[in-house]
């Protein structure tokens, strides 16, 4: 546990994580100063206008702060000031078993499902992290019997040096957030920090993911796979097994698509390591409802099935969604804010799409790439304009899929807002919730 009492601490970044860090530090007796690049909190009595001119015992950086090229963070590191992440701060005050779940896609679904399984098993469970509830906000409530299920993003891991999960789960790895880290290699390095390589840490890895398999592993690794394994959690004879124990039939999984099958396998793997009974796992999976905007079936428009996969903010996630639905009859909607991707991988497979709809800031780049491979895409300035067109031209038998392969920040405040606007245009009146 960090000794913060009487220490001068700067919290850099005043979003939800930064605010939770401030409260925890204040409650533990620290002298807290705050700073935010946008200056939105300049009226706070704790706000420091020129933090480079002050000395701090340590600095807590929120996950929303970009590290690469950040002069303020570089200044503190060069002057020998300890810099930690909000994840580190919260972890240092947690008691109980910490489970860390990371990966390019599926983190929120797996974290939510693991939390449900442990709650159904009667464990005192906290679900936190990148899923929306900062770890700093739950840390003071934990005790030795607690289970902390933490969704861990690369943003949280970037400056992390203290966080060490008792169980670390890596779901998959594919190019993402290149704009944040500068290269895929750096993104992989940051993700790999979740593995502490301590003898006590248990590791859960996706056997089917080539990049995950490249991670250095220890002897306490449990693999999961969609194919039979000699040991681990795997699929065989249309059922999920843990070693020789049958956990549940595939027919009882309420989630859609191959990617969600991997998510269920990961959640089961974490659960069996904590000796949760198969009957409890089965009941929790049966009752689970996936978080919204993840290949979420919304209904029909003029006989066309409509799916919201707004959470697909990278290419691998979009490819997975297309693979789950099949390309025949598919109206694929792509666009938004490019995070440093090259889009060839979506179009070089020869998929026979019904229509390709490109929109937003990255729309022209996607349009040009698709055209290069012989497609005839349509280009719209915004997702809203594209959605109105798709709705007006929907036909029976089509599958309309919003799976943007880009972030939402050219037009919307988040992928969730983007998904809600898509839903409201397709099925009703649009509320004024888009980014102003």
CA-closest candidate to residue 325, choices 375, 259, 266: 259
pLDDT at 205: 96
pLDDT at 177: 77
pLDDT at 418: 98
Q: Where are the alpha helices (DSSP H) in 86-226?
A: 86-92, 107-120, 135-138, 154-157, 178-181, 184-192, 210-213
Question: Would you say 242 and 267 are in contact if contact means Cβ atoms under 8 Å apart?
Answer: no
pLDDT at 258: 85
pLDDT at 17: 96
pLDDT at 436: 28
Burial of 188: CB neighbours in 10 Å, binned 0-12, 13-18, 19+ = middle
Q: Residue with structure tokens 């005192």?
A: 124
224 three-state secondary structure: strand
pLDDT at 214: 79
- Give Cα separations from 42 to 39, 46, 49, 307 (angstroms): 5, 9, 7, 42
Q: Residue with structure tokens 């490819």?
A: 319
Bridge partners, residue 258, by sequence = none
Question: Would you say 336 and 404 are in contact if contact means Cβ atoms under 8 Å apart?
Answer: yes
CA-closest candidate to residue 103, choices 163, 192, 183, 186: 192
At how many degrees (to 10) do helices 258-273 and 315-325 cross? 110
| pLDDT tens by residue, the chain, 436 residues | 799 999 999 999 999 999 999 999 999 999 999 999 988 888 887 999 999 999 999 999 999 999 989 999 999 999 999 999 999 999 999 999 999 999 999 999 999 999 999 999 999 999 999 998 999 999 999 999 999 999 999 999 999 999 999 999 999 998 777 777 789 889 899 999 999 878 899 999 999 999 998 786 766 899 999 999 999 999 999 999 999 999 999 999 998 888 899 999 999 999 999 999 999 999 999 999 888 998 999 999 999 999 999 999 999 899 989 988 999 999 999 999 999 899 999 999 999 999 999 999 999 999 999 999 999 999 999 999 999 999 999 999 999 999 999 999 999 999 999 999 999 999 985 444 333 2
Radius of gyration of the chain (CA): 22
pLDDT at 290: 83
pLDDT at 199: 84
Element holding 60 (H helix, E strand): strand 58-61
pLDDT at 429: 56
pTM for this entry: 0.87
Rounded CA separation 237/262 (Å): 16
Rounded CA separation 337/332 (Å): 17
Q: Residue with structure tokens 């800031």?
A: 361
Strands (E), 143-231: 146-151, 167-170, 202-206, 221-225
């Amino acid at each position: 546990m960090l000794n913060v009492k009487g220490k001068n601490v700067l919290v850099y970044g005043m979003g939800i994580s930064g605010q939770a860090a401030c409260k925890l530090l204040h409650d533990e007796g620290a002298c807290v100063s705050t700073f935010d690049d946008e200056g939105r909190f300049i009226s706070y009595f704790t706000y420091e206008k020129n933090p480079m001119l002050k000395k701090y015992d340590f600095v807590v950086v929120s996950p929303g702060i970009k590290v690469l090229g950040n002069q303020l963070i570089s200044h503190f590191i060069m002057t020998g000031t300890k810099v930690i992440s909000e994840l580190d701060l919260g972890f240092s005050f947690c008691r109980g078993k910490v489970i860390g779940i990371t990966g390019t896609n599926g983190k929120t679904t797996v974290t939510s499902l693991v939390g449900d399984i442990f709650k159904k098993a009667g464990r005192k469970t906290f679900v936190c992290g990148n899923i929306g509830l900062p770890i700093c906000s739950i840390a003071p409530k934990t005790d030795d019997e607690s289970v902390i299920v933490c969704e861990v993003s690369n943003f949280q891991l970037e400056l992390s040096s203290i966080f060490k999960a008792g169980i670390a789960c890596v779901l998959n790895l594919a190019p993402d957030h290149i704009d944040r880290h500068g290269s895929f290699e750096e993104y992989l390095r940051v993700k790999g920090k979740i593995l502490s390589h301590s003898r006590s840490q248990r590791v859960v890895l996706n056997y089917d993911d080539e990049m995950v398999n490249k991670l250095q592993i220890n002897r306490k690794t449990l693999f999961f796979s969609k194919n039979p394994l000699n040991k681990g959690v795997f699929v065989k004879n249309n059922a999920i097994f843990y070693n020789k124990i049958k956990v549940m039939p595939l027919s009882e999984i309420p989630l859609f698509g191959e990617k969600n099958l991997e998510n269920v396998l990961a959640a089961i793997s974490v659960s069996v390591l904590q000796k949760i009974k198969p009957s409890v796992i089965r009941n929790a999976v049966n009752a689970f409802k996936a978080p919204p905007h993840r290949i979420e079936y919304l209904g029909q428009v003029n006989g066309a099935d409509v799916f919201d996969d707004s959470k697909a903010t990278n290419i691998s996630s979009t490819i997975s969604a297309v693979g789950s639905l099949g390309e025949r009859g598919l109206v694929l909607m792509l666009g938004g804010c490019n995070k440093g991707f090259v889009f060839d991988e979506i179009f070089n497979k020869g998929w026979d799409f019904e229509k390709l709809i490109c929109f937003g800031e990255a729309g022209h780049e996607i349009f040009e790439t698709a055209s290069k491979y012989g497609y005839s895409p349509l280009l719209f300035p915004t997702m809203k304009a594209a959605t109105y067109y798709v709705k007006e031209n929907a036909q029976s038998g089509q599958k309309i899929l919003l799976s943007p392969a880009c972030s939402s920040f050219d037009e919307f405040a988040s992928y969730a807002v983007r998904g809600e606007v898509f839903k409201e245009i397709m099925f009703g009146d649009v509320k004024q919730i888009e980014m102003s």
